[in-house]
Amino acid sequence: MNKKDANHKTKVALGMSGGVDSSLCAHLLVERGYDVTGVYLECWRAPGCRSEEDRKDALQIALKLGIPFKVLDFKKEYKENVVEYFFNEYEKGLTPNPDIMCNKEIKFGMFYDWAMKKDFDYVATGHYAKISEKQLSIPKDEHKDQTYFLYLMNQDQINHTLFPLQNLNKDEVRKKAKKRGIHVANKKDSVGICFIGDINVHQFLKDRLGENPGNVVDTSGNIIGSHKGLWFYTIGQRSGFEIKSKTLHKQDDGTTIDKSNIPPFYVIKKAPDKNQLVVGFGGETLNDKFGVRNLHWIIDENEKLTKENGDLFVRIRHTGELLACSLVYNEVKLKKAVQGIAEGQSAVFYLCPKGYKKTDNEIICLGGGIISN
């Protein structure tokens, strides 16, 4: 993060949430000589929402540092582009990721565009992600890594973005915050849906979509139970549906397994056309290939997706394992079969450059797409 020159104080618009991460970012950027403006993005107001408290916390940090503070009202855009997407995808029987859409449409959409129009040199956020040599990479704190949510960034955005926490882990962030007397140093991390928080997702979906009961079937198509609505279930889930049959599952040899001896069933597929929830166990829950649509590459994939450049990995959920894979056109082939490949979720691709290991903290995020059958 180099300042332009002695005669120009680099202008940075910092997204401030009122949490410890962005609050420390404000201190670090000011200490490094940047001309910082704190920006609070107001995206959601509902009973139980912490937005008022969070905005006050962000303002208190800005006042302490003596930096300008702005509030941008994106509630309408957030509802239209993130919340409606969330409901529409679930209603189709898919498993969306609203945090990815939030980063695309709000943080690196509305906020980024506002900052560029206001002649800021950079936007900055408290994301745990790394920008090095104009590439998006996994940060020092691999457990907090948020590159999965950022794969829809483009090169121009990366060139004008700062991630001040890229070389810090969470413990270091809290220690540095306490050392500086930041009042939110011990504030709990926000969890749940971006800007909405830790809500009851089941109830959130029920309030909007209601219930739509249907059958639970095994992989042979036998009706063995019931569900309350496909949107309440995710791939890999092992509860929330009812199993009723006494003879439950037909095996390859034609025999059935009695209910008293059955292992736990996991959701392995949704069939919206029949309103059926398909469940299985054991090897039935595993898969080693899937399709991917709407591919987006941060950089030209032809520069990176070759064996000569390194090893390719894919992540099918936030902070999930980096899975060794190959990508041919729009089909991903995994080196080992895994559970929980959910249609509608994102598959994000990473490159471990030649000469490095997965543990060397040099993993590049290339881009990604939406998982499909």
Catalytic residues: 102, 194
Q: In terms of Cα–Cα distance, which of 180, 160, 161 is closest to 30?
A: 180
Reduced to 3 states, what is the DSSP secondary structure of residue 215? strand
Do 30 and 56 form a contact (C-beta atoms < 8 A)? no
Q: Which amino acid is at 216?
A: V
What is the C-alpha to C-alpha distance for residues 132 and 113, in angstroms, rounded to an integer?
22
Q: Which two tokens stand for residue 92?
A: 């189709």
Reduced to 3 states, what is the DSSP secondary structure of residue 178? helix
Report in angstroms the alpha-carbon separations of 347 from 14, 320, 323.
28, 11, 10
Q: Which two tokens stand for residue 272?
A: 């919206």
What is the C-alpha to C-alpha distance for residues 341 and 317, in angstroms, rounded to an integer?
9
